[in-house]
Amino acid sequence: MPPSNILDAIIAQSKLSKKETAKQQKIVEAAIALFAERGYANTSTSEIAKKSGVAEGTLFRHYGTKENLLLSVIVPFLKESIPFLAKEVFTDVNPRNYKSFELFIGALLRNRIAFLNENQDIFRVVLKELLYRDELRNELFPHLQSQLFFFLNDALEWFKELGQLKDLPNPVLLRLIMTSVASYLAVRYVLSPNREADDDAEVKTMVDFITGGVGKD
Contact positions vs DNA (CB under 7 A):
21-24, 42-47, 54-62, 64-67
| Interface with a second copy (CB under 8 A), residue from 11, 179, 199, 200 | 179
Least spacing, CB of residue 97 vs DNA, in Å: 45
In contact, 63 and 69? CB cutoff 8 Å = yes
Least spacing, CB of residue 9 vs a second copy, in Å: 19
Taking alpha carbons only, the member of 145, 146, 170, 144 closest to residue 157 is 170
Instruction: Name the amino acid, one letter, at 138.
Output: N
Q: In Å, how far are 24, 34, 113, 128, 215 from 46, measured between CA atoms?
A: 15, 11, 33, 21, 54
The interface partner of residue 87, options being DNA, a second copy, none and the CB cut-off 5 to 8 Å by kind, is none
The interface partner of residue 180, options being DNA, a second copy, none and the CB cut-off 5 to 8 Å by kind, is a second copy
Of 64 and 212, which has the nearer Cβ to DNA?
64
| Interface with a second copy (CB under 8 A), residue from 23, 51, 110, 128 | 128
Q: Check binding of 57 to a second copy (CB under 8 A).
A: no
Cα–Cα distance measured from residue 189 to residue 200, given in angstroms and rounded to the nearest whole number: 16
Instruction: Name the amino acid, one letter, at 55.
Output: A
In contact, 109 and 206? CB cutoff 8 Å = yes
Of 21 and 192, which has the nearer Cβ to DNA?
21
Instruction: Name the amino acid, one letter, at 144.
Output: L
In contact, 107 and 98? CB cutoff 8 Å = yes
Q: Check binding of 33 to a second copy (CB under 8 A).
A: no
Site for a second copy, rule CB under 8 A: 38-39, 41-42, 101-102, 127-128, 130-132, 137, 141, 163-168, 172-173, 176-177, 179-180, 182-184, 186-187, 190-192, 205, 208-217
